[in-house]
Structure 1
């Protein structure tokens, strides 16, 4: 019993191309391409010339027009749209029907236009072959059924080897599958040529890869910013709330609530900016803070109970925007790590800008029994930010302290 379904599937396998709609849409695609050559046959009149001359006129006559069409950049876009619709019908990007890899933009270079020209010519030739085989195959199938049709076929289309025989109708089941197989094969051929001639060039693929890489880098940067901003805000809020509960002082509680409010407001602004970038809205994103606002960052950490001594030297306003913004995030992450791993301990922060570069130095005492920060996302983010700007970040314990030292070039 189990062998019967398997046998039926084996027997029906040769019929699958006939039952698939894509076989017939590819035929339509080829017949559309042959229309130009067939129209030229009517215009030029090739009835009274030898068959070799008539086929040469059909195949070569429209080539100059195809060259003019290929020189138009939008032609490639139109051809790829038609190919997607007829050669590769169905949803793309799935396992059942993957994307055929056709270009989605006009042809900008002459090399791409040359490939479009080759595509147009080959498509016309293959379409012309499919039309000739299809039309004559249909006429031959009809001719095999009777002597009258046989003589008409011999007079109007092709010479035949001899008179009609009564056994010729038995050949119809052979001619029809051969005709279907020829049409299917030509459709597969043109579908195989499409990605090679209508696909993006190497330069276009490289540009698309670079654009995708830029998007991934941008998303990675936004993820780091969310980690730094939200992590800092939550850490400050948790430390402030715990300190206010332990202190039991209305004045301290008031200061703690104010610090939580300021930090939360800043985190919400950064969150809104990141979401706008991810949604690609038209509204301009909010401004990213820089080192010129480092005092506010230090004040926020002080409000969480940390004893911070800050030393800020040099003209921070003249530090380039990218360096200033990334430097702000580095200091923010350092203070967040202090509050998260060491608690309210003495911290020394030094921010120095000079012609040689920008130096960021954050040091805090390690409480007895406290484990130093591990190689988590915070320290990795600091090193990545410094490396992207051509700088260097060094972090580790030294003389009972945890030290983070970052140097960034500003030229």
Structure 2
């Protein structure tokens, strides 16, 4: 019993009722103009169908679909999604499984206009039918209460009226129950029709999917940025601190603290830049580092104690932005991987820019205690993924007694 009465406690039941009644006012206006005094059954059919061509004509206006979509969101699916626009509102809200699945974009094709016209007709006729039923059932309930002063021939009720008697009040719940059931059923039908007819078109769904994919790629890129920058800074700090403690030399400790400070400052700048992107701050974000700043990475590794043999050849300063930025991060992760797993060992770094590609090659001796044979963790996997996204290729793993990170990135 409680389950059956639950829809009557929800505000959406009454907002849907109101939404349909407003749609039915168009038929009421036509009936008023046409005249309903002594109207025959044929007249009522004409009154009901006369606004249909008007609705079809109105649906040709592209903005009509947007207006109906906004109304449907507010009245048929009230909630946070109706009060607050999201980034996908211009496209296909609900394509990702959230929201009511109602588009608020203007009609972009004749198919959209046809679906909008069909929705307007459904709302018109369903609202008119529900309006007539509401008036009849409420009027009948008032008749059972004996509160109407109209004569039976002039009260406009289609239902047969009971005879006089106080016992009529016992049947008062019947028309109210029927009205409640009709309101709930009509509201559910309107919601289903709105999802079907005002829902996103295939083009809108594709646009929403592309936008969602771009957002996920951007989040993945930001995660990699944080992993590379913060991971490198922490690795350098840990190695420097351990070396300073082991050396027990004041000068070496000063140099180690200076290196930790510089690396930490760079990491904080990267973190601030990433947070600006996440917050969509209006202020200018710092530019991402490029391979032109590779010396900073190499010097950071040298301060830890690693013997870095680096050769940079070719016009590194003239690299395309994406290639140079991703190349910097790949070199940073390769050096971080050396320091984290092998410690301050000799490292050979080769950065070469040819006419059509950028080549990165980082080699270091394998740790004595373990010879890794796997494909590495998320950092090395990120190197391979970065290379693939730029149309290149990368490999990581042991080779001839060394650990090698090799990447080739096309310049176009």
Give TM-score scaled by structure 2 length: 0.86
Aligned with residue 31 of structure 1, among 2, 7, 21 = 21
Matches within 5 A, 1:335-350: 335-350=335-350
Contact 1:342-1:370 within 8 A present in 2 as well: no
Measure how far apart 1:121 and its partner are: 1.4
Counterpart residue number, 1:391: 392
SS at match of 1:100: coil
Bigger drift between 76-85 and 33-42 goes to 76-85
Ranges in structure 1 where 5+ consecutive residues have no aligned partner: 1-10
Q: Work out the CA distance in 1 between the residues paired with 2:120 and 2:149.
A: 36
Ranges in structure 2 where 5+ consecutive residues have no aligned partner: 83-97
Contact 1:142-1:149 within 8 A present in 2 as well: no
Counterpart residue number, 2:60: 71
Q: Work out the CA distance in 1 between the residues paired with 2:383 and 2:29.
A: 69
Counterpart residue number, 1:130: 130
Matches within 5 A, 1:40-59: 40-57=30-47, 59=48
Q: Work out the CA distance in 1 between the residues paired with 2:53 and 2:143.
A: 37
The 1:314–1:342 alpha-carbon spacing in structure 2 relative to 1, beyond 3 Å, is same
Bigger drift between 258-267 and 68-77 goes to 68-77
SS at match of 1:306: coil
Q: Work out the CA distance in 1 between the residues paired with 2:305 and 2:152.
A: 101
Counterpart residue number, 2:109: 109
Q: Work out the CA distance in 2 between the residues paired with 1:22 and 1:143.
A: 29
Matched, 1:275 2:275: yes
Measure how far apart 1:373 and its partner are: 7.8
Counterpart residue number, 1:241: 241
Counterpart residue number, 2:49: 60
Contact 1:288-1:325 within 8 A present in 2 as well: yes
Counterpart residue number, 2:311: 311
Contact 1:341-1:373 within 8 A present in 2 as well: no
Measure how far apart 1:211 and its partner are: 0.9
Q: Work out the CA distance in 2 between the residues paired with 1:72 and 1:160.
A: 41
SS at match of 1:253: helix
Contact 1:333-1:382 within 8 A present in 2 as well: yes
Counterpart residue number, 2:75: 86
Measure how far apart 1:165 and its partner are: 4.9
Residue deviations 1:218-259, cap 9 Å, x none?
A: 111111111111111111122222223333444433332332
RMSD, aligned CA: 2.8
Measure how far apart 1:48 and its partner are: 4.8
The 1:46–1:232 alpha-carbon spacing in structure 2 relative to 1, beyond 3 Å, is same
Contact 1:341-1:372 within 8 A present in 2 as well: no
Counterpart residue number, 1:377: 378
Measure how far apart 1:329 and its partner are: 0.7
The 1:174–1:268 alpha-carbon spacing in structure 2 relative to 1, beyond 3 Å, is closer
The 1:296–1:164 alpha-carbon spacing in structure 2 relative to 1, beyond 3 Å, is closer
Which structure ranks higher in relative contact order (CA pairs < 8 Å, sequence separation ≥ 6)?
A: 2
Q: Work out the CA distance in 2 between the residues paired with 1:15 and 1:234.
A: 60
Measure how far apart 1:182 and its partner are: 2.6
Measure how far apart 1:154 and its partner are: 4.3
The 1:367–1:48 alpha-carbon spacing in structure 2 relative to 1, beyond 3 Å, is closer
Q: Work out the CA distance in 2 between the residues paired with 1:229 and 1:89.
A: 44
Contact 2:140-2:159 within 8 A present in 1 as well: no
Matched, 1:190 2:185: no
The 1:299–1:123 alpha-carbon spacing in structure 2 relative to 1, beyond 3 Å, is same
Give TM-score scaled by structure 1 length: 0.86
Q: Work out the CA distance in 2 between the residues paired with 1:25 and 1:105.
A: 23
Residue deviations 1:39-60, cap 9 Å, x none?
A: 2222233435423223322x23
Q: Work out the CA distance in 2 between the residues paired with 1:56 and 1:268.
A: 74
